[in-house]
Structure 1
Amino acid sequence: MPLAVVPTPIGNLEDITLRALRYLREADLVACEDSRRTGRLLAHYEIKKTLVSYHEHNEERLAMDLAERAKTERVALVSDAGTPLVSDPGYRLVAACIEAGVKVEVLPGPSALVTALAVSGLPSDAFTFLGFLPRKGRERTEILSRIAGEESTFVVYESPHRIGKTLAELPPGARVAVCRELTKLHEEVYRGTAVEAAEHFEEGVKGEIVLVVRGGAANVAGSLEDAVGRAREYVAGGESPSRAAARAAREAGFKKGEVYDRVAKG
């Protein structure tokens, strides 16, 4: 019997394939992160199955047992949302099945990573997926430095409580797409510079977030001196200092106050 890795919707319950539903109906047991969440999905499609809780805290202990069961039973692996193994449990089970000689079938399906990348409007021919950023420390600093310096598109998962902090630590002019609640009722995709996105979400945000960033110095539109010089040109052309500073700051990826203070001093 094969182990079936079955993607589930990342939000909209209609985003599940006919093949995925067939595998879930034919499974003898379903290994899932949260039985309540998976139970709601199965109930929606009138599927009744034995559920086995399989998550990051017990996957090392259960992987070999499930691999043995997969020799004689149809085992389906799902995550709470999207494709298993992508920042979700499953690697140890797949590895255990391969080691035990159990065939592994992976069904194509929903992925927040791919959905965000496609909708971002940023180059997608080559990209780096970083999962969830470390909350603090040297590793976080090194990753953010890499994003700032490497000409590539980066995709990260971020908490709504930390998205503001992360945006503020990116190069101000870096092009970003903040993808929130993908496929759900309140889906939002904000595209702009990091500093613009930080201002847009400064009052807080809710929901699941995928952040897509175009890294590299080429994406920083200019230095603060360039922005100030541009604002002074706009003032000379008849714009008010406040409006000129806001326009130049937006174009160069800085906060309005940083530019306005310099322009107002003359």
Structure 2
Amino acid sequence: MNNKNIGILYIVPTPIGNIQDISDRALNILKTVHLIIAENTKYTNNLLKILKIKNTIISFHKYNENNQTQKIISLLKTKTIALVSNAGTPVINDPGYELVHTCHKENITVIPIPGPCAAITALSASGLSSNTFYYAGFIPKKKNTRINFLKKIKNKQTTVILYESCHRIIHTLNDITNILGSKRKIVFAKEITKKWEKIKYGTSIQILTWLQKDPCRQKGEITLLIKHKKKKKKIISSKIKKTLHLLIKYLSMKKSIELISKIFKIKKNDLYKYTINQFQHDKK
């Protein structure tokens, strides 16, 4: 390997289900790096056997990340290393943040390889708005913490992406139904890219009922996507309208809106929109 490549940490995504999703570039890196650091060495060994790759693997998980980081930084002075997780893109809800952060501080090159990610894959097929989204990772396990978490995301005006365990999905959907509303649109995506892949769109109560009818539907790795909360249209009361129309007879539009805004504690922008629309309507 060319010495110019020494001192590189590669972030290498691995398949989240379908082995064919491994890219040629990822394969080449896993073959040619000096060593691979893996969240689960047994799992990664099995993956490498399937891919017919032989390489050195060392353990790097959430319990030894702090201790291993400095050792790996030292190794990166003379070696190229690939970071992999159990499945999908490393660092996203997986160990690696501290290592990548330290690499940047030490001026060690970090190269990300594009590849599988359950959250993005599910989003692309969800039918929900994807121009902006809020990725929140795993939903809290404890009920009270989960309820507080759901209250915080209740009014998010962007698509929310979550991961959940099959063991807690019914409890979570019950909480979503109670807190976000039974008519809130969600997408239930499980076993993405695998044989039993299922993507279902509906209201929270529809998805909950559908899952309760067949416990087998609850099994597997789950991604939940929640539709954004729509902005409520500002309602301008008849009292405000009458006062505004009266003032405009004697004052400029700008001055009238400024006064109404102060008196009724309403945003000037909302008043401008109403006034302009009203003038346009009167002209017709």
For normalisation by structure 2, the TM-score amounts to 0.74
| Aligned residue in 1 for 2:197 | 187
Please name the residue that 1:253 is paired with. none
Aligned equivalent of 1:109: 115
What aligned pairs does 1:158-173 form with structure 2 within 5 A after superposition? 158-170=164-176, 171-173=181-183
**Any idea what SS the aligned residue of 1:86 has?**
coil
Deviations 1:21-47 (A, max 9, x none): 111001111000111111111111210
- The answer to whether residue 127 in structure 2 is matched with residue 121 in structure 1 is yes
* SS of residue matched to 2:21: coil
Is the 8 Å Cα contact of residues 147 and 215 (structure 1) preserved in structure 2? no
Q: Which residue of 1 aligns with 2:136?
A: 130
**1:211 alignment counterpart:** 224
User: Which amino acid in the other structure matches residue 88 of structure 2?
Assistant: G
Report how many residues are paired.
219
Gaps of at least 5 residues in structure 1 are 220-266
Describe the SS at the equivalent of 2:199.
Answer: strand
| Separation (CA, whole Å) in 1 of partners of 2:63 and 2:99 | 13
2: CA distance, partners of 1:206 / 1:119: 20
Change over 3 Å in CA distance of 1:121–1:185 after alignment to 2:
same
Aligned amino acid, residue 195 of structure 1: I
Larger radius of gyration: 2
Quote the Cα distance in structure 1 between the aligned partners of 2:156 and 2:117: 25
Kindly state the Cα deviation for residue 129 of structure 1 after the two structures are TM-superposed. Answer: 0.4
Alpha-carbon offset, residue 2 of structure 1? 0.5
1:149 is displaced (CA, Å) by 1.8
Q: Work out the percentage of aligned pairs sharing the same amino acid.
A: 38
Q: Give the SS at the match of 2:57.
A: strand
Distance 1:95 1:80 in 2: 21
Equivalent residues in 2 for 1:255-266, closer than 5 Å: none
RMSD value over aligned CA atoms? 1.5
Query: Which consecutive segments of 4 or more residues in structure 1 shift more than 6 A?
Result: none
User: Which residue type is aligned with residue 190 of structure 1?
Assistant: K
- Give the C-alpha shift of residue 147 in structure 1: 2.7
Are 1:157 and 2:163 counterparts? yes
Instruction: Tell me the residue number matched to 1:49.
Output: 55
The alpha-carbon deviation at position 86 of structure 1 amounts to 0.6
1:141 CA drift (Å): 2.3
> 1:187: Cα distance to partner?
0.4
Moved more, 69-78 or 162-171: 162-171
Residue of structure 2 in register with 1:258 after alignment:
none
Structure 1 residue 215: deviation in Å? 3.6
Whole-angstrom distance in 2 between the partners of 1:139 and 1:217: 25
Displacement after TM superposition at 1:148 (Å)? 2.1
Deviations 1:164-214 (A, max 9, x none): 111111121111111000000110111101000001111431110000111
Partner AA of 1:20 in structure 2: A
Is 2:91 the partner of 1:78? no
For 1:175 and 1:5, locate their aligned partners in 2 and report how far apart those are by CA, in whole Å. Answer: 34
SS of aligned partner of 1:122? coil
Match of residue 174 from structure 1: 184
| AA partner of residue 25 (structure 2) | R
Q: Distance in 1 between matches of 2:130 and 2:17?
A: 23
